[in-house]
Amino acid sequence: MASFDNAYSRFVALARIVLPLAALGILSTLFLVSRGPDPGDDLRQSRDTVAEIAREQRIGAPEFATVTADGTAVALSAETVRPDAAYPGQATADILHLRLDMAGGARADLRAARGALDMAAGQTVMEGGVRIESSAGYRLEAARVTAAMDQTDILAEGPVTGEGPAGRITAGQLQLTADPQAAGRYLLVFKDGVKLVYEPGR
């Protein structure tokens, strides 16, 4: 009886190894037969993508939304974000879009090729040719924009160039903040060597 038990145990142990291997072999044959030539392309590409994401700790298409203390709804999205392993709470990002829906009904959209997120400091830095559009009729470009995430405070550093309701504008800086004297109102201030080319009838 003991001999039978030992033989049965060996059979079960062998079956646990052989049967899964046989199943893998059958599945591999099915994939090879069902697919056209060069069947490993998609699998290799998938493995490469997974390996790259794992290596870079990349996050695809993240979105972040909040409401500032002065009532502005902030929505931030990116094509990819890579957390900084050395500095928790910080990350770099590609293709950023920042949207501000302000309490008074005004809106601003900012887009940039790249940027950096600092959750500890509560701010986002956008670089690589930042494009700014507002519902007030401004279409501007800046070299760099720093945006607070807990309050309405956008600082664009220059040169800042573009068009507004009155004409073409050039400045060293542009700042958008909540008006401390009136809730629901906001101040858009151009600074440092401001030039306005007035264009009547705009």
Q: What is the pLDDT of residue 186?
A: 92
Of 161 and 32, the structure prediction assigns the larger pLDDT to: 161
Categorize the per-residue pLDDT at 201 as very low, low, confident or very high, splitting at 50, 70 and 90. Answer: low
Instruction: Tell me how many degrees the CA angle 152-172-136 measures, rounded to the nearest 5.
Output: 45
Q: What is the pLDDT of residues 171-186, one digit of tens each?
A: 999 999 999 898 889 9
- Could you give all domains of the chain from N- to C-terminal order, each with its CATH number? 2-56 (no CATH), 59-198 (2.60.450.10)
Q: Name the percent of the chain in helix, strand, coil, to the closest 5.
A: 25, 50, 25
Least confident range from 65-69, 99-103, 109-113, 118-122: namely 118-122
Average pLDDT value for residue range 176-198: 91
Q: Average pLDDT for residues 158-179, to the nearest whole number?
A: 94
Task: Answer yes or no: is pLDDT of 164 > 80.
Answer: yes
**Vertex 40 angle, CA 35 and 44, to 5°:** 140
Q: What is the mean pLDDT of residues 148-164?
A: 94
Task: Quote the mean pLDDT of the chain.
Answer: 80
Q: Is the dihedral of CA 41, 42, 43, 45 positive or negative?
A: positive
End-to-end CA distance of the chain: 101
pLDDT score, position 159:
93
φ and ψ of 17, to 5 deg:
-95, -45
pLDDT at residue 59 in the model: 84
- Please compute the mean of the pLDDT values over residues 13-42 and round it to a whole number: 47
